[in-house]
């Protein structure tokens, strides 16, 4: 198997072979100690349309989401071992799994995302040739943050394996594989936007169509407009990481039962994604704020647990200290709130939120998606 390094602008073309890595028994101790792969995938802000990427809504009506990746990442570092073990370490949650090398690892306990990615790669791509490895990860946001952190971690893991074993996976392939691992293999509730945002990076208008068709449309936004939006945005961790599973299952139940309240709210969210895309392309920050506020009201109608007393208190505090719009990023119930304000009011807004015990920061958008590179050369 060839470990490769990509030249800029390419994922599989013009690769430079760095080292020949076969099965564990054929690698030298020196090679296995030196050669590794590191990867990262960006987290994202869900600007508009979140929830319309859920089945069965997108299968029946088509979904549309506007999101943007930010300067927070999920990281993975893959190195090779010679002791016929698989070791997973997640430093941000202080957990470690040490398992005997096998073609299928149990996924009912431990670091289930790490295990499920290993299982799928072993099953679909390794053709019976297993490699003893150590995979170490960190994520720059807690699980349940509303920033797509779990999906970004899965994408970073897939990207590390893609680079280490020269797997024939493009960006759509990586995102689809990550989606299947989370939603099908592990049965975790959720939509589709997070995996595609982490894989592609940037500001994207995404369409989720029947028959599992996904179209990622990168937006060519004027740099001045991006700068102004960055200067106007504040993210705020409410201090309460939420379980999105309950919220998402309630939304799915409402869609499946054709609840007018849920389905109509989803239609509104989809329309908001289209309208916010136009506002962004024209640099209309006031228009973006108007859609954001409207979307927050629509989102709260999709499930009872989307908001709660604590979220409403933080939202109200932000609105009383310079914000002109705000809503949760992600499914809701906690995690991160995002606010839009006049840039001249941003310091005041951040100071007030932090004084209340929340964790408010500025936002920087990123243009690159998942990427991997060789280490120890």
Please state, in angstroms and rounded to a whole number, the distance separating the CA atoms of residues 134 and 239.
32
Per-residue pLDDT tens digits for 46-80 = 999 999 999 999 999 999 999 999 999 999 999 99
pLDDT tens per residue across span 293-326: 999 999 888 888 888 899 999 999 999 999 999 9
Residue 24 — very low, low, confident or very high, per pLDDT cuts 50/70/90?
Answer: very low
| 264-288: average pLDDT | 96
The pLDDT assigned to 295 comes to 94
Q: What tens digit of pLDDT does each residue of 317-366 get?
A: 999 999 999 999 887 788 899 999 999 999 999 999 999 999 999 999 99
Altogether, the residues listed in the chain come to a count of 377
Distance, CA of 177 to CA of 158 (rounded, Å): 8
Question: Nearest-CA neighbor of 328 among 269, 277, 281?
Answer: 269
Q: How confident is the model at residue 23 (pLDDT cuts 50, 70, 90)?
A: very low
Average pLDDT for 182-190: 94
Task: Output the pLDDT for position 304.
Answer: 81
Catalytic residues: 194
pLDDT tens profile 201-254: 999 999 999 999 999 999 999 999 999 999 999 999 986 666 567 777 788 888
Quick: pLDDT tens for 108-123.
999 999 999 999 999 9
Least confident of 4-13, 96-105, 226-235, 309-318: 4-13
Burial level of 320, CB count in 10 A (0-12/13-18/19+)? exposed
Dump pLDDT digits (tens) for 156-177. 999 999 999 999 999 999 999 9
The full DSSP string for 221-257 is: --HHHHHHHHHHEEEEE-S----HHHHHHHHHHHHHT
Dump pLDDT digits (tens) for 33-43.
Answer: 457 999 999 99
Which residue reads 């939420």 in tokens? 242
φ, ψ of residue 68 to 5 degrees: the values are -145, 135
Number of H helices, E strands in the chain: 12, 14
Q: Is the pLDDT assigned to residue 5 strictly greater than 80? A: no
Q: Which residues of 86-125 are buried (b: 16+ CB within 10 A; e: fewer)?
A: bbbbbebeeeebebebeeebebeebbbbbbbbbbbbbeeb
* Peptide linkage before 56 cis (omega within 30 of 0): yes
């Amino acid at each position: 198997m060839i470990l490769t390094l990509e030249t800029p602008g390419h994922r599989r073309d013009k690769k430079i072979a760095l080292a020949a890595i076969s099965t564990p028994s054929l690698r030298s101790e020196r090679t296995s100690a030196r050669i590794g792969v590191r990867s990262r995938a960006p987290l994202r802000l869900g600007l508009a349309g979140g929830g319309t990427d859920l089945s069965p809504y997108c299968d029946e009506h088509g979904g549309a989401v506007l999101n943007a990746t930010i300067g927070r990442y999920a990281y993975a570092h893959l190195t090779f071992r010679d002791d016929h073990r698989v070791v997973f370490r997640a430093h941000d949650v202080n957990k470690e799994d040490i398992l005997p090398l096998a073609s299928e690892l149990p996924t009912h306990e431990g670091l289930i995302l790490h295990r499920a990615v290993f299982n799928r790669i072993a099953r679909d791509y390794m053709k019976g040739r297993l490699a003893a490895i150590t995979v170490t990860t960190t994520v720059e946001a807690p699980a349940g943050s509303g920033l797509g952190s779990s999906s970004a971690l899965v994408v970073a893991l897939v990207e590390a394996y893609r680079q280490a074993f020269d797997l024939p996976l493009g960006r759509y392939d990586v995102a689809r594989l990550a989606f299947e691992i989370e939603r099908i293999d592990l049965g975790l509730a959720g939509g589709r936007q997070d995996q595609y945002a982490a894989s592609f990076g940037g500001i994207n208008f995404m369409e989720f169509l029947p028959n599992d068709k996904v179209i990622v449309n990168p937006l060519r936004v004027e740099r001045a407009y991006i700068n102004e939006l960055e200067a106007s945005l504040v993210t705020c961790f409410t201090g309460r990481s939420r379980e999105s599973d309950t919220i998402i299952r309630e939304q799915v139940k409402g869609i499946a039962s054709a609840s007018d309240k849920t389905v109509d709210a989803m239609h509104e969210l989809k329309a908001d994604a289209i309208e916010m895309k136009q506002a962004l392309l024209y640099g209309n920050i006031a228009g973006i704020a108007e859609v954001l506020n409207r979307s927050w009201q629509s989102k709260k109608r999709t499930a009872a647990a989307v908001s709660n007393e604590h979220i409403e208190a933080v939202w109200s505090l932000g609105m009383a200290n310079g914000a002109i719009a705000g809503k949760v990023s992600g499914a809701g119930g906690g995690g991160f709130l995002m606010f839009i304000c006049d840039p001249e009011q941003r310091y005041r807004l951040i100071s007030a939120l932090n004084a209340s015990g929340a964790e408010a920061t500025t936002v920087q958008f990123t243009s690159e998606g998942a990427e991997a590179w060789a280490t120890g050369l």
